[in-house]
Amino acid sequence: MGVFVLPSSAFGVLLPHFPVVSLGTPRGQFHLVLGSSSNRKRKNLLTGNWQCRPRIVAASNRDNSKDNVTDDEDGSLLGSYEMLEMKEDELVEARRALSEVKARQAALEKEREQLLEDFASSEAKQKEYVASVLHDKELAVSELESTKSLFHQKLQESVKEKFALESKLVLARQDAVELAVQVEKLAEVAFRQATSHILEDAKLRISAAETLAAESAFQIDEQIRKSTEGTIFSIIEESKDAINKALDVAENAIDEATQAVAVFTDAVNPIDVIASAQSENIKLQGAVSDLEAQLLVSESELDRLKLELQQAQVQANAAELRSSNAEKALLEFQELSRKKALEQEEEIRSLLEKIKKEAVERKKALSKAFKAELESIKAAVDASKEITCSRDNAYMRRCEALQRSLRTSESALKMWRQRAEMAQSLLLKERSEKEDDEDVIYIANGGRIDLLTDDDSQKWKLLSYGPRKEIPQWMARRIRSIRPKFPPRKTDISKALNSSFKSLELPKLDEVWSIAQEKLREGDMLTEHVIEKEVIEKKRKALERALQRKTVKWKRIPEETKIEPGTGTGREIVFQGFNWESWRRQWYQELAFKAADLSHSGITAVWLPPPTQSVAPQGYMPSDLYNLNSSYGSVEDLKSCIEEMHSQELLALGDIVLNHRCAHKQSPNGVWNIFGGKLAWGPEAIVCDDPNFQGHGNPSSGDIFHAAPNIDHSQHFVRKDVKEWLYWLRNDIGYDGWRLDFVRGFSGTFVKEYIEASNPAFAIGEYWDSMAYEHGNLCYNQDAHRQRIVNWINATGGTSSAFDVTTKGILHSALHDQYWRLIDPQGKPTGVMGWWPSRACTFLENHDTGSTQGHWPFPRDKLTQGYAYILTHPGTPVIFYDHFYEFGIRDVLTELIEARRRAGIHCRSSVKIYHANTEGYVAQVGNMLVIKLGHFDWNPSKENQLDGRWQKFIDKGADYQIWLRQ
């Protein structure tokens, strides 16, 4: 279409020239046709109801509004107005352009919604990917945990197998000690090497896998987070900007179209409207072009974001690949570790099977060797017995030869006596002739002159050999027992020297030969014979003891197991390892040196002195309970002594004072009732009925000890502190059990609580009560006395033993030909031993009754008889230090301990009393031992109720005799 130019004269004003018609209807533009039309046409323009036929529209001047514009057949304009003609299709084009704008806007809206959907989907994919990564991570962690649990399970199974192996090896060690020790060490070394290697390898691999998985997961999370956050934020921001700009342009276009339509509606000046419309059209075109450019930019940005998303996906795929590789490596590691574990298990099993086979073979070999050795030992014992018999026969032949020589000497004695009489008669004749020394009478030597006249006589041997070392008492006793017919010493030599009769050259006292008091000299046949016999006897006893110990080790006796807490194994023999004066020396060091000797003698437990710092040096007035530096030595000495006891398989019993405690400070009113040290108690820890120390606690549950504050054990804090102290002594210091001092001062229920808290191997309570006397004599019935002790034991719930003071008091009188006191009306032993033997600790003396205190000493001449009674009867016997090391009866005690061990007597052994009268006492203890006390004639063959063969083991004449069953 062409361009129409309106002359300025047609409108009465000068108008600028501008195009009205579109140049080919560019994209996004629309055309307006102005002219005089009716309201219907305006409405059609607004509503879009355009007619198809062409029309000619004429516009009139505002000043000449009455002029009409009509159609001319010739097509020319009428009047002074110039008509503008435009086709209706341009309006259609404008409408189409507007609809295209709306369509573009809708497309932008759809694209925005699509972008939001893509963003939401990418977010969902990201979440899914993160969830999958986390799930994979959890799976990897769970796999690692399952691997760890499987490994720990295998390790526990290996440990259980190890413990089972160790138990089997312990049993093997019981059968063959040396072999079992070697096998156990080998098994432990092999198992430790294998398990340590497996553990180290598995730990290293697991830690490497965990580190790799954690690093890869962290890198993947960081990359995904950074890429997604940057992409999402940039997309959201650019989309928001583009959408806002598009919305602004669309709103502006709608406003312009509305204004254009309003021009037609309100009859606004069309020139202004056209000008404004054209300017707005230009602006709209610029905005549209800007929007298109921004859309292109956003599309390029979207492409860039897609590329980055693809790169992120590639990185995520790479991370997923690495994660899968890590999983594969983890699976390979698990498979490899499983294979290695199986291989190690197979190796260990094969090694254990090999060790077991070797152990069985060695066990068989050792059993054969042991049997052979046992046979050889038996053969050696038989040979030694034969040698002993032969030596005894030789000795008897020697004695017969000596007797023959004595008879020969006696026959020669007669001749010398005749010669002496002749010499005496000659001397008397000479004296009567000279008449000098009328009161002197010479007599013959009476059989000893022959020893003085020969150069080879015994006198010259004794004088030439010089002094000899003193003969020991045991040797003298042995020599006396084998010289019944040797010449006796002259008992009247001193009288002869001091009398008025003068004999021929009588020897001096040290020149007279007597085999009973001859001093030892190397080379004497008799001395060598006696010594050799003693050595053989000692070797025989040592062999028997060694065999017995091995037999007990290999064949465990069920009764040796711990039955109840108060009795230990039931076979304890307690040794009181101190007396009242032991504090004057470094006692712990001295006692430690005696541990090996005590163990070899058969002692099983040693009662040590009170360890606590004390006001009195003996230790029975304790102050600071945690201070163990006492008069007996330092705490280091105490620990060393206990360690030495344990090395010799001895129990260490601590002497514990719980009834009372000495205070450190005075109260404001001058009473010593403030305690110091770690247990800083006050008057509330002292019983209120203690008359001397003004306690604020509850009344005492026992008797009052007046020398020190009595502790109130009903207080919870007191019991708590005492239990902690006992636990410390038990675990840190090393004590195995307790001797409880003065338990009459508090209830046995507290003792039960303390023993259950400290769990000692053995416990003894000192419940010392007065016995019943009538007219100065001990009453026969002492049931009330032993009932009080039994009541205290019962209050402890049977967790503690008690000293059998009743038996000690009865033995004082019974061993003086009153053996009828040793049986009660029910036929049982008197004392606690007869009622509750497993809780009775029998004794003769201790640091209070004997030693330098001597409150109630046992009769000295009845000590061996008393120990023969308590060491062969049930209960737990206690041996006093002074008796064992200072009274010279150690061999007697060792022999009695050996008899108790051989007979298998324990604290619950049965007692059957056959005789108990003024003449003596006879009882069978268990099934293996019979003891007789007293001087009456008795042996097992005279007892109809005793069956079996019995051999005398100890014979002390009128004191006691012991038989063991063959």
pLDDT per position as a tens digit, 410-430: 676 677 667 666 766 665 655
pLDDT at 83 over 80: no
pLDDT at 532 over 90: no
Give the mean model confidence (pLDDT) for residues 72-82: 42
What is the number of other CB atoms lying within 10 angstroms of the CB of residue 218? 10
Q: How many Å separate Cα 637 from the centre of its chain?
A: 25
> What percent of the chain is modeled with pLDDT above 90?
38
pLDDT at 805 over 90: yes
Q: What is the pLDDT of residue 185?
A: 65
Least confident stretch, 98-102, 140-144, 360-364, 570-574: 140-144
pLDDT at 802 over 90: yes
Q: Which of 41-45, 282-286, 659-663 has the highest mean pLDDT?
A: 659-663
User: How far apart (Å, rounded) are the C-alpha atoms in residues 283 and 720?
Assistant: 98
Contacts of 735 (CB under 8 A, 6+ apart): 608, 642, 652, 653, 654, 729, 760
User: How far apart (Å, rounded) are the C-alpha atoms in residues 663 and 667?
Assistant: 10
pLDDT band at 521 (very low <50, low <70, confident <90, very high): low
Tens-digit pLDDT profile for residues 758-767: 999 999 999 9
Structure letter (DSSP) for residue 821: G
Q: Measured between alpha carbons, how far is residue 107 from residues 115, 255, 919 in Å?
A: 12, 20, 135
**Has 741 been annotated as catalytic?**
yes
Contacts of 592 (CB under 8 A, 6+ apart): 640, 641, 644, 645
Q: What is the pLDDT of residue 841?
A: 97
Give the mean model confidence (pLDDT) for residues 809-822: 95
Q: What is the pLDDT of residue 35?
A: 40
> Annotated catalytic residue: which of 741, 804, 898, 959?
741
Q: Measured between alpha carbons, how far is residue 329 from residues 138, 145, 217, 337 in Å?
A: 16, 16, 15, 12
Task: Name the H helices within 458-586.
Answer: 458-465, 473-481, 493-498, 525-554
Q: What is the pLDDT of residue 569?
A: 85
Q: Which of 14-23, 90-99, 519-528, 946-955 has the highest mean pLDDT?
A: 946-955
Q: What is the pLDDT of residue 388?
A: 74
Least confident stretch, 377-381, 666-670, 922-926: 377-381
Give the mean model confidence (pLDDT) for residues 822-848: 95
Q: How many Å separate Cα 215 from the centre of its chain?
A: 41
Q: What is the pLDDT of residue 903?
A: 94
Give the mean model confidence (pLDDT) for residues 291-317: 74
Q: What is the pLDDT of residue 58?
A: 38
Three-state DSSP class for residue 149: helix
pLDDT at 466 over 50: no
Q: What is the pLDDT of residue 734?
A: 93
Name residue 655's amino acid: D
pLDDT band at 117 (very low <50, low <70, confident <90, very high): confident
Give the mean model confidence (pLDDT) for residues 744-749: 95
Give the mean model confidence (pLDDT) for residues 83-112: 74
Q: Kindly state the tokens that stand for 350.
A: 């094969």
pLDDT band at 61 (very low <50, low <70, confident <90, very high): very low
Q: What is the pLDDT of residue 425?
A: 67
Least confident stretch, 185-199, 258-272, 378-392, 832-846: 258-272
Q: What is the pLDDT of residue 560?
A: 42
> Annotated catalytic residue: which of 766, 824, 845, 882?
766
| Pairwise pLDDT comparison (114 vs 567), residue with the higher score | 114
Q: How many Å separate Cα 490 from the centre of its chain?
A: 74
Give the mean model confidence (pLDDT) for residues 246-256: 66
Tens-digit pLDDT profile for residues 907-963: 999 999 999 999 999 999 999 999 999 988 899 988 888 888 999 999 999 899 999
What is the number of other CB atoms lying within 10 angstroms of the CB of residue 216? 20
> What percent of the chain is modeled with pLDDT above 70?
60
Q: What is the pLDDT of residue 574?
A: 97
Tens-digit pLDDT profile for residues 172-197: 556 655 655 565 566 566 666 656 66
Compute the mean pLDDT over every residue in the chain, rounded to the nearest whole number.
Answer: 75
Q: Kindly state the tokens that stand for 28.
A: 């996004």
| Pairwise pLDDT comparison (621 vs 499), residue with the higher score | 621
The full DSSP string for 154-194 is: HHHHHHHHHHHHHHHHHHHHHHSHHHHHHHHHHHHHHHHHH
* Residue with token string 């009716």: 38
User: Cα 7–9–10 angle (5° rounding)?
Assistant: 75
Give the mean model confidence (pLDDT) for residues 30-57: 39
pLDDT at 800 over 80: yes
| Pairwise pLDDT comparison (120 vs 513), residue with the higher score | 120
**Has 766 been annotated as catalytic?**
yes
Q: Measured between alpha carbons, how far is residue 268 from residues 11, 60, 273, 892 in Å?
A: 16, 13, 7, 150
State the sign of the Cα–Cα–Cα–Cα dihedral 23, 27, 32, 38.
positive
pLDDT at 243 over 50: yes
